[in-house]
Structure 1
Amino acid sequence: MTEQGVTIYLVEDDEAMRSSVARWLRLADFHVEPLAAAAPLLETIATDSPAVVVSDVRMPDMDGRDLQQAVQHIDPDLPVILFTGHGDIDMAVEAMRNGCYDFIEKPFNAERLLESVRRACEKRHLVLENRNLRSQMEDLSGLHARLIGRSPAINKLRQEIIDMAPVDANVLVIGETGTGKEVVASCLHHLSPRHDQPLVAVNCAAIPETLAESELFGHEPGAFTSASTRRKGRLEEAHGGTLFLDEMADMPLEVQAKLLRAIQERSFNRLGSNTVRNTDFRLIAAINTDARGAIQRRELREDLYYRVNTIELHIPPLRERREDVPMLFSVFCEHAAVVYDRPVTYPDSATLTALMNHDWPGNVRELKNVAARYTLSSLPPEERLGSLLRQDNDIAPAPGEGLREQVQKLERQLIQDALRRHEGRITPVLEELQLPRRTLNEKMRRYGLRG
């Protein structure tokens, strides 16, 4: 087999020529199946066959052009390379117009044929790879559409969610930044008996320490200087449903103590009120670090940890499930193409290899951002990923940074890249980015860029 696992079907009625060409191909490490006529090939070939066809044009029973049409009827993306000693320009043009991958006239240079076969094998490998990815994506539904992947690690996590979702017990989700802790919490909620009640998510890292207690428990007018109106807290909003506390270890310790009491007693007081309010919610908490380490650093109360982790779920980082990267990347590229109204560009084999070799310290969130920039990039597809991964540290989301700030960083980078490619010439930049002159000028001024 070739390095792509593709078989070369060589159809040639002349025994000497068939033997000679087969020998060249085998010396180049291709797996070759020599055939004296077209009929046996048409009995063998099928849609999605990992194959390339190399055929003579002039043959007694079925000529190469008819064979090429028959093969394309079976699979229109299967490459067919034709060669003949009787060809002319008109024949070549007609063959290429009818979908022939390449047309080579005899006598031909062996390297010319080998190069054509190599390129055809690469194309076939990529077509089959993308078909497989699309097939897998079409099969995604329910939980599989939320937690994408086929690796043992993600299959195990999905099964744990299915098993634990109906159990009305507290859950602690542990995973690195960007692994999808909120997605897991959402899956647990929507598969639970509380699915028709609210899921209230709280990013503990984004709440100012002075407002943390008010955020959770609510307040009455006059409870503190700026409290001019009554406000429900998140515990109250989550009544009957699920409360998700993301980055729980970033919550102030004194607030953790009050939360612990509220969880134990299923009741709380708003700030500035003596009225006890009962609440009923399922608690899902998430941390991005080892719980023991957080406890030792006095970031997480030990008693709160034990109260929360009735069930403990661990989300694997992306580097531990690299086989899921191609499917995830393709799904994210399709989503980005819809959002930004761009054509879908599926990664080639070299790009897929680079994606799987990258460690993805930002996990699925980083992969999703790179897929969006890959879809938006105007570079040739084979050049995009290397450029994007080099930029990644410069435009990676900062802690607590919102979507607007992330989009602005990406926009600045895209304009800067276009200016650099066109050496500061504005007209080709306008054409590439499809922007009016005034809009580009405003954006360059805003981002401090010069042509």
Structure 2
Amino acid sequence: MTLQTLPRIALIEDDEIVRQTTCQWLELAGFEVEAFSHGKAGLDAVLQHPFDAVVSDVKLPDVDGLSILNELELHQVATPVLFITGHGDVDMAVGALQNGAFDFIEKPFEPERLSQRVSEAVDSYRQQASTQERQAYLARISGLEKVLIGQSRVMQQLREQVAKLARIDTNVIIYGETGCGKELVATSLHNESARQAQRFVPINCGAIPENLFESELFGHESGAFTGANQRRIGKFEYAHKGTLFFDEVESMPASMQVKVLRALQEHTIERVGGNQSIAIDTRVIAAAKADLNGHETFRQDLYYRLNVAQIHLPPLREREDDALILFEHFTRQTNPETRLASEADRHAILSYSWPGNIRELRNVAVRFALDDGISVMEILSNRPSSTMEAVQSDVPLLIQLHNFERKVLHECLVAHQGRIHEVMLALDLPRRTLNQKMKKFGLNRADYT
């Protein structure tokens, strides 16, 4: 999560003693405070410099609090305003509240009460500003940034590297954890290159049976083997003048690695069962989860042929607040009318480690967009990566507690075969509470009877 500076508060109070003590209270509560004795001076400062909140007396010698509120609205300054008011000024404060003030607090007040409300105002303001910033970012991006989305420094560097390597017609290895978007980067390298008008041909090395691998890559002639009833063009030939993408290249069978190496060296292939050499002009991009240098089952000569350039994709947990931007992008993509994520949702998104990276985030965002009644925490709590059997130290405590409560309830329902009265007795829960918890965790009695 991005580190934020101390919240800046503009305190406007004409009573010197009240101003000094309130300033001290707020500073002790962790705020950076700039105090003003006159409303005009405080208003000018807020209009010229960014503040996270304004704390102001309702009645001031030069202007009243409502005038300050109106001026801020006139200049489209969204900084929240909290008013401090004496008993006789409550009506004015209520009017200010109706005109957009965040809150008002009557004198005398508890310092803790003031600091709590100021903190809530700051959180609300920063969240609103952050949401607007993300929406503005998603609305203005174009080109490569619209594909490789993110404002973090590592994503800016990645886009620069992709743009540079796209112009150089050379082989590339992309490294990254599962779900980081390796194929998306490979596609971007192709689409930004001089080969963009030709084919981008992906092949997952881990998904092809070894006995079919050669035919899949090089094609075959009719009658080359049982079932080969007609000539078939292989991936290398199909990607001629374009780009061939080897995903999970570390899974390529050893018997095929030497043949792929020869094809890359000679720029020719032969179909299975054929004798004719076929010239190929294919750029090869490979992707792997771990470094291939010194890999026990991967040929080093093939590694050096592929490893002309490298791209390392950062996991989502190292991309600062990009998770929030991507979450908003995926939810809007799924349903443009999706509700905004709540503070608890945003906290869950930023504190979760995302072991499945962008792929996992996209799945959660789609589920969130399709179900108006579900929270991010509830979705994460029901995912296999968050179960109590495999508790992770980087899973937030609230999610672990949620998981544990659900697990206990689930096991009790299993043990008693869905007999509600027995479950009530075993867990010492009233019927209404049990029903609420079953609904909360998506547990249905019929599934256990």
Smaller-chain TM-score range? 0.7 to 0.9
Which amino acid in 2 is paired with 1:35? F
Please, what is the CA RMSD of the aligned residues? 3.8
How many Å separate the matches in 2 of 1:99 and 1:90?
15
Alpha-carbon shift at residue 373 of structure 1 (Å): 4.3
Alpha-carbon shift at residue 62 of structure 1 (Å): 1.9
Question: Which residue matches 1:336?
Answer: 331
SS at match of 1:244: strand
- Note the alpha carbon deviations across 1:219-265, whole angstroms, 9 max, x for none: 34443333344432211221111111111121222222222222222
How many Å separate the matches in 2 of 1:327 and 1:47?
30
SS at match of 2:250: helix
CA contact (8 A) 2:47 2:77 kept: no
Question: For structure 1, which runs of at least 5 residues remain unmatched after alignment?
Answer: 396-412, 434-443
Percent identical: 39
SS at match of 2:255: helix
Alpha-carbon shift at residue 342 of structure 1 (Å): 4.8
Paired residues for 1:104-253 under 5 Å: 104-138=105-139, 140-253=141-254
SS at match of 2:9: strand
Which amino acid in 1 is paired with 2:263? A
Change (3 A) 1:50 1:36: closer
CA contact (8 A) 1:342 1:376 kept: no
How many Å separate the matches in 1 of 2:385 and 2:154?
27
Q: Does residue 51 of the first structure (1) align with residue 52 of the second (2)?
A: yes
Greater alpha carbon shift after TM alignment, 369-378 vs 233-242 = 369-378
Give the TM-score taking structure 2 as reference length: 0.77
- Note the alpha carbon deviations across 1:403-446, whole angstroms, 9 max, x for none: xxxxxxxxxx9xx99x9899668x989xx99xxxxxxxxxx99x
Q: Does residue 369 of the first structure (1) align with residue 393 of the second (2)?
A: no
Which amino acid in 2 is paired with 1:327? D
Question: For structure 2, which runs of at least 5 residues remain unmatched after alignment?
Answer: 388-402, 411-431
- Note the alpha carbon deviations across 1:273-332, whole angstroms, 9 max, x for none: 3343322111111222221342xx32x22222222222233333344xx2x241243223
Which amino acid in 2 is paired with 1:306? Y
CA contact (8 A) 2:10 2:51 kept: no
Question: Which residue matches 2:340?
Answer: 345
How many Å separate the matches in 1 of 2:149 and 2:118?
35
- Note the alpha carbon deviations across 1:34-91, whole angstroms, 9 max, x for none: 2222211221113882331112222343211121121233345311112322557754
Alpha-carbon shift at residue 339 of structure 1 (Å): 0.8
Which amino acid in 1 is paired with 2:385? N
SS at match of 1:164: helix
Change (3 A) 1:392 1:348: farther
Q: 2:305 aligns with which of 307, 310, 334?
A: 307
How many Å separate the matches in 1 of 2:326 and 2:49?
21
Alpha-carbon shift at residue 347 of structure 1 (Å): 6.1
Change (3 A) 1:190 1:94: same
CA contact (8 A) 1:56 1:84 kept: yes
Q: 2:385 aligns with which of 393, 401, 418?
A: 393
SS at match of 1:291: coil
How many Å separate the matches in 1 of 2:207 and 2:49?
50
Change (3 A) 1:34 1:235: same
Which amino acid in 2 is paired with 1:363? N
How many Å separate the matches in 1 of 2:100 and 2:371?
29
SS at match of 2:118: helix
Q: Does residue 77 of the first structure (1) align with residue 78 of the second (2)?
A: yes
SS at match of 1:231: coil
Give the TM-score taking structure 1 as reference length: 0.76
Alpha-carbon shift at residue 145 of structure 1 (Å): 3.0
Greater alpha carbon shift after TM alignment, 251-260 vs 103-112 = 103-112
Residues matched between the structures, number = 407
How many Å separate the matches in 1 of 2:336 and 2:154?
34
How many Å separate the matches in 1 of 2:248 and 2:112?
60
Change (3 A) 1:216 1:21: same
- Note the alpha carbon deviations across 1:351-377, whole angstroms, 9 max, x for none: 45x655554433333343344445556
Alpha-carbon shift at residue 200 of structure 1 (Å): 0.9
SS at match of 2:105: strand
Change (3 A) 1:286 1:27: closer
Change (3 A) 1:329 1:13: closer
Change (3 A) 1:13 1:50: closer
Paired residues for 1:283-302 under 5 Å: 283-294=284-295, 297-298=296-297, 300-302=298-300
SS at match of 2:321: helix
Question: Which residue matches 1:98?
Answer: 99
Which amino acid in 2 is paired with 1:276? S
How many Å separate the matches in 1 of 2:374 and 2:153?
34
How many Å separate the matches in 2 of 1:279 and 1:424?
66
How many Å separate the matches in 1 of 2:333 and 2:434?
31
Alpha-carbon shift at residue 123 of structure 1 (Å): 1.8
SS at match of 1:232: coil
Greater alpha carbon shift after TM alignment, 38-47 vs 195-204 = 38-47
How many Å separate the matches in 2 of 1:222 and 1:422?
70
